Structure 1
């Protein structure tokens, strides 16, 4: 979600990658500075502008129109080290769309994208979509900087609608989120063509990745468009299932707590981690109510047409304020039309390419027990477990920026994500099987902001499953997560 006057909204989270990836493939063309820029024509784009730049990373782009540091607020911990000095071509533009929530470049046009093509190319392409309801530059310091330094081309989309009123896009319930998936597919195909124009060949490897809503996009693409990718890294992706669990089954209890009709014990029974209590006041103010009302308005607008109505709000307090009616929202009792809307975007677990999932055990927006632990079980149930690795990050939470407020209780997930990305490329390109599912240990010392390895594990940890029960909204009773 876009930050509003310093408040990091919804899925405002993601991070980049420190461990260096594979070197440029033997025989890969390494053109001169901005070579073939005149040949670049992004297929399907309604508007595009290319620039030859001395540095495609945020260090070089800060203060220019080619990135947006404000849209990255709250996504990483202070002290995060990123590479710089990557020359190449940047293409900004948009695909045809009739919504206008994205004002970047003064275009007032959605479906905006950025494609970055470094001079020194390793033969690969990395694609992502904005977390929360941010825009196309939101993951520059988290993903773009690092993968560009590794030699990858990079492409990111705003997903086709942005901001707290994203739910107003589309004709029918569920259309706005469904567009997110279509925009990623559209950009992936177009970026591959742009890569070929720049380097004379299509990417040898294409990876999908993202955090929160971007992690959801990664899951959906590997389930539904696996032919476009060679693998992906999913950082605490949002889980949408038709019967639940999903955001509309896990968040109403948090709104009920705000209005005094639910207790802390109710949140624990709903899957929120006991150790995350210290984070609840912050999430109550910045995430829970807003997230519930936006997605309920997206999938079930008839439940309370007056809240949020045509807009989530025009001031910060209005935007962050929960709807009182959501305190008693019961997803499973709603009409079948609501589940049909969710079905447009629902996940199945039927991934077609290798996927690594990371999730913090103190995630207080998407609790591990109702999200990635369930998704891992879904993948196993589909017989795709051999394509999946699931790593729980001890003391990790949904937003790395919170580490700065609680350095003694939290650890950033970003360096673990970087290690996971390297593990994925080695898995795909060298056949190096990643470690089995486990809990990544919290470092006893050193630099937790920039150091992590997915091989580090809690002593005795054999799986990344959670202890206790995973709520099953359909059954009304807890169901154990099977050991993997």
Structure 2
């Protein structure tokens, strides 16, 4: 392994390619237990932290490709590397045997502290690389899929279930390196925080780490086509987790209806991942404390905000800062007591919480305003979409709920997103959309209800012609159906707007799920009132939506039963390049002391999307 300077940033860059190339030759016991995938005869590696650590490799130029899993030990190899004196301006390339003179790369160290750790080394020449570009379209009944190890098959399933990117930005570039998966469990003052995660170390590592929050309640692979490919291409190590849950509780994970209030830990889980991954990279590469950045989309953006706020508190208590800065992409905002205590009695009542704009209330208001798709008085009709502006009767209530007028194009689609599933035998999804399902599951989470207890206000249909309980229950609920205890849990999620590392937010002007005013502007207001505005930038992206998958125009926007016939893609800007550009501004702000340009509305052309972040400027 050779260590050299990155250049103008002066940050150590570790080239791990040479060390990884030898990982195709795995050492360990002579026998492999076919039932468990672990070595049944050799002593377990003490550095792996558990006795069932598993390592696999796709091979390397000098290593054999066996397809077998081993105990995680790796072999060294003779390779050509470049060396640079970190104290001089000159650089020379030399042929060296092994890694003499350089710190050894210890891949086993990447697995320490995880339950059921699994290590895979990717060559990046037909195996998909760290970004798994061959997994997106892999048929799960094909011989190629069936030939994969069980852990790789699980990755395929998770990746295909969580895609949120635009088809215009389908990843294709393979990046070699090492990936570790497993479960990280941390015990805090208020219980155990457990999440599944993936840590990616590219062969050409730039010496930095990015902690990615997960959108929605999606898996640790939910960023695989969103931010991951761009970051890997620039050499960042990446750690991403699933917040301890997956949609519908897949793979035995928790759900939002587990009665344990999982959202209360989402910010801390970002810190857990960052501290663990930073220590593992330091142990594996001998590079002291890599700088750590946070980034995330949607609920992952909320995680970034909350993590920087919690890190600020840690610094105030004498602990070292973890995050150098953060990128919040369309994050959710949970207001704190200072924003909701309208009568100044030093507490937030259920009525005050019901009146405030937050993730639950804004989605409930949108669902009630647009109406159930199959109700006679619904606004979600082809005629309503055709109005100028779309759904004109809904505008007063939707704008009061924190949505921008520009987002009206997608209000109908988000009111009935999953209704089509009823035609495939899933009648419970009749009339279900992002608005009512988001409001339902987050309400149940705050109330501490399971699936049975939440039936009274469920968004799911019985397949008949009457709206589900969600609608009549909300219309008659006193104080919005909230209790003092549920308000207490909501306040545990609250954003303070107080942080002390640079934070950049990008938010789409047409975001119809997490409305611009309720989630971006309101958070900026909190920072202006209680935080340090000099440490914050908000870039509103003209025509930008919530997730780029929907901005491709493939939803049923006008409720006519057809997908994508409205030509809506030409009204939405693809957000990902703007998030990438914002991240570059963030790094320059932190490492070059070059503050990002002032926040602004960034003009775009939704018909001719600019997909190259390097061509964008927020000046």
TM-score, structure 2 length as denominator? 0.62
Aligned pair count?
421
Gaps of 5+ in 2: 1-5, 21-103, 124-128, 139-151, 188-192, 250-254, 313-320, 341-355, 380-392, 417-432, 554-567
1:52 positional shift: 1.2
Question: 2:378 & 2:479 partners in 1: Cα distance?
Answer: 17
1:408 aligned onto 2:482:
no
In structure 1, the residue matched to 2:220 is 136
Distance 1:303-1:72 versus aligned 2 partners, 3 A rule: closer
Q: Deviations over 1:232-255 (max 9, x none)?
A: 000011111243331122122222
Distance 1:30-1:249 versus aligned 2 partners, 3 A rule: same
Question: 2:446 & 2:197 partners in 1: Cα distance?
Answer: 26
Question: 1:315 & 1:130 partners in 2: Cα distance?
Answer: 31
Distance 1:388-1:154 versus aligned 2 partners, 3 A rule: same
Q: Deviations over 1:316-360 (max 9, x none)?
A: 99xx97722234557677332221011111110001210000111
Question: 2:366 & 2:229 partners in 1: Cα distance?
Answer: 36
Question: 1:139 & 1:88 partners in 2: Cα distance?
Answer: 17
Off by >6 Å, runs of 4+ in structure 1: 21-24, 302-305, 309-317
In structure 2, the residue matched to 1:56 is 130
Instruction: Give the conservation status (yes or no) of the 8 Å contact 1:22–1:150.
Output: no
- Residue 366 (structure 1) aligned to one of 514, 539, 543: 514
Judging by fraction of residues, say which structure has more strand: 2
1:88 aligned onto 2:88:
no
Instruction: Give the conservation status (yes or no) of the 8 Å contact 2:436–2:459.
Output: no
In structure 1, the residue matched to 2:524 is 376
C-alpha root-mean-square deviation of aligned residues, in Å?
3.2
Q: Deviations over 1:139-171 (max 9, x none)?
A: 011122211111111100000122156222353
- Residue 212 (structure 1) aligned to one of 285, 298, 311: 298
1:273 positional shift: 2.0
Distance 1:58-1:304 versus aligned 2 partners, 3 A rule: closer
1:234 aligned onto 2:318:
no
Q: Deviations over 1:158-193 (max 9, x none)?
A: 00122156222353xxx2101322322221111111
Query: Between Structure 1 and Structure 2, whose CA radius of gyration is higher?
Result: 2
Of structures 1 and 2, the one with the larger relative CO (CA 8 A, separation 6+) is: 1
In structure 1, the residue matched to 2:364 is 252
Q: How does 1:31-42 map to 2 (within 5 A)?
A: 31=16, 32-34=18-20, 36-42=105-111
SS at match of 1:255: helix
1:386 positional shift: 0.4
- Residue 15 (structure 2) aligned to one of 7, 20, 30: 30
Question: 1:315 & 1:76 partners in 2: Cα distance?
Answer: 33
SS at match of 2:247: coil
Distance 1:329-1:279 versus aligned 2 partners, 3 A rule: farther
Gaps of 5+ in 1: 1-20, 99-108, 458-484
TM-score, structure 1 length as denominator? 0.79
Question: 2:589 & 2:14 partners in 1: Cα distance?
Answer: 24
SS at match of 1:443: coil
Distance 1:322-1:410 versus aligned 2 partners, 3 A rule: farther
Q: How does 1:154-173 map to 2 (within 5 A)?
A: 154-164=238-248, 166-171=255-260
Distance 1:409-1:452 versus aligned 2 partners, 3 A rule: farther
